[in-house]
Every structure is written in C-alpha cells, then in structure tokens.
Amino acid sequence: MKRSSRTAAQRTAGRSLAIAIWALGVAFFSFSADARASEPLPWKAAVDEAAALYLRDNPEAAAISIGVLKDGETHVLQYGTLIPGEDHPPREDTLFAIASITKTFTGTLLAQAAAEGRVSLSEDVRNYLDGDYPNLEFDGRPIRLMDLLDHRSGLPFLLPDRPELDPGFQGDPRPYATRVAEVASTYDRTQFFDDLARVELTAAPGATYQYSNAAAQLAGYVLERIYGQSYADLLRTRILEPLSMYDTALSLTAEQQARLAPGWDDAGRQMPENPEWLAAAGALKSTTPDMLKYLRWHVEDADPAVRLSHQPVFTSTQPVFGDRGVFSVGLNWQMIEIDGRRVIWQDGMVEGASALCILQPELKLGLVVMTNQLGPRTAQANKVLVNTILKSLNALAVPLP
C-alpha cells in the first residue's frame, strides 16, 4: 500500500509508508530454465556492484530477489539474508509480499471484463452495488469503474477511514503494519459497505489524483459481482493458472507459508503480514520466477486485456524529465513515455515488504525487485539501485522518476 501527496510524476515515492528496501549479506546468482548459463552476461557485474553498494550503505536491509527479463530470457539474482544477522539467503522458491502490485492484477481482471464486453470502464460503479449510494457522486458525476484503479475515485486511503490508518499518523507509536493488522482482525465486508455509504466526496470523481486502497478493494468486490466468483477464484482461473503461476496466492498453504520471507522494519522488528482483508488492494504473495511469468505476459503487450490495462485513463499536464516525458496512469499501472519508449511500473511498499515491477515493452525488457525489509532511509537508495540496473540492462531504458 502507499499514499501520495506530491505531483503525479513523483507518486511512486509514496508518503511515509513508501519508505523503502533492500538487503544484506552473501550474494548468489542463478538462472531460470530458459537462460543459458554458459553464456556470459555483460550486465551482471554492474548489477552485482549496484547491489553491493546498496547493501553496504543500508546495513538494516535483509534480502533482495531480482528477476530480469531480457532478450527473451529470464534470470534470477538474489542477495542478502532473510533473517538479519544470520546466514539465511533467499532461494528461487522464496515467497515475498508484493503489496500494491496486487492492484495491477485487479486492473488486468477489470480489463478482461471490459475486453469481453461484460462492462464499460466508464460505467457508474453503483451499477454493480446493492443499494443506492447517492454519496458516490459529486455534482452529478459518479465514480466510474476506471476511477477505482487510476486513483481518481475520491475514496479515502483505506476503509475504515480512521486517523490511525493514515501512514503519516503520529498519535500511535506502533508500526503502521501492526495498526492495519489489528483493524483487519475484526473488519469485514459488511462493515466495508457500511463505511462506503458514509463516504463524503469533496470533488468530482476523475478530477483529483488521490491514492486509495479502498477503491481497489471495491474493484475486487465489483469483479466478484460481474463474474459471480470470489476474487481469489478469479485470480486463480483467469491469471495465475493460465500463466502457470502456482506459487502466487492470497492465502498460502502451510508449505508455502514456510517459504514466505519474514518482513522487517528499520528497527529490526518483525512485521505482521499484509492481511487477506486487503485482497484486491495488496494481499498477494509470489516468487521471483512466478513474477517473471507475469512480467513476460505484460511486456509482450499482446493480450487485449493487457493492452487495455496499459492504456492511459489519466495523463498529467506536468512534464517529466524536463519536457521530454509524459506521465500517465492506466489500470493501476504508472507510465512514462519518452521518444516512443514506455516505462510501465507499479510498486508495493508496506513496513516489512517492498516490491517493484517494471515493464519496458518497446525494449522487450522487464525487471522485478522484491525485498523483505522496509525502512525510512532506503526509498531514494531503492530508486538509485533500480535505475542503475535498468541502465545496465539497456542504455535506452527509461528510468523511474
């Protein structure tokens, strides 16, 4: 989850929740099955060096797992330790929380519904809710389906909309992840819709960018109504099984749970997992090899629903990188285009976990970086690391802002 209060092109930095990543310890490298280990990789040394510098400068870090899609081949590189202070390196089958990258799965499911003619993205969301919800419009303009996944719905950061659930709240010394987990232990769908009926919009939907996990959760409930299936079943049957992503799930088996990376904050405290209650907004866990399958599907940009999820539904008037780039938002993908080349990305950041999923379709390039530590010093270092990796993979890669 994340929240932003800066310009649209800077939203990826998030707020105080979007605080950062990475890892510590012994590094090792492995290929997935479609990579040829006998061939030298000219970019690997640069990635190793960038990771080593990151680890040196961020001693609070834990483990990093990096997945690369380049020239049609996938590679997995892993560094650090899953448990700070111990020699416990990650493996290819280690699961990590991907937090808000879950929203891109939700966006792709909604794009599938639109591509199949089941819905129109410009429809009033209330067409798929029980009850009237007169509050879900402002000056006659309703919340549309697309607004749920471009963060212009006007819905709050979370429901329930309580001060202590704002990442920047200073009145509770407990970690943010602990506060969210506590609410999730008793909060249910009925309470969500009761709270939704009390939301007061302050601007027309579509007018203002305001990051909202509640909107993504609502999109998940809408998808359940459209298809008559649970969100978990929709993920499984429409994305995960077709892509053979058998190690990606909202709810883990006991065997998968044993492979889940524990999450740590900057003080070395173990954090609770993102609750399943967040479902469509941020509850997925995955392995690096599985995420590379998802990356390949999106980098190919061939599936009609994938292409639709990458279409801008909001474009900023503020230029990026001087006047060279244009920032836009698709169905929960952030995008910048420069000279006909796109970087399409989403991050997921919560205390104890961080993930970045980056697509560059014109270069046939993809990158995923996952970690099990998030601390306040590492947000900028994270960006430096990722942009260094991108440039080492292809000099024409568009960096993150």
pLDDT tops 60 at residue 29: no
Distances (CA, A) of 262 to 34, 79, 118, 247, 368: 29, 15, 40, 16, 19
- The pTM score is 0.89
Please tell me the predicted confidence (pLDDT) of residue 285: 98
| Among candidate residues 362, 368, 357, 297, the one with its CA nearest the CA of residue 332 | 357
Q: What single letter denotes the amino acid at residue 279?
A: A
Least confident of 57-61, 281-285, 334-338: 57-61
pLDDT tops 60 at residue 18: no
Domains in the chain: ranges and CATH: 8-119+230-393 (3.40.710.10)
Least confident of 135-139, 252-256, 385-389: 385-389
Mean pLDDT, residues 86-93 taken together: 96
- β-pairing, 373-374 vs 263-265, is parallel
Give, to the nearest 10 degrees, the angle between helix 213-227 and helix 189-196: 110
Q: Whole-angstrom Cα distance, residue 77 to residue 71?
A: 16
Q: What single letter denotes the amino acid at residue 70?
A: K
pLDDT tops 70 at residue 12: no
pLDDT tens-digit series, residues 311-333: 999 998 888 888 889 899 999 99
Q: Sorting pLDDT into bands at 50, 70 and 90, what band is 231?
A: very high
Q: Whole-angstrom Cα distance, residue 344 to residue 329?
A: 9
| Bond into 275 cis (ω within 30) | no
Q: Are the CB atoms for 47 and 4 separated by under 8 Å?
A: no
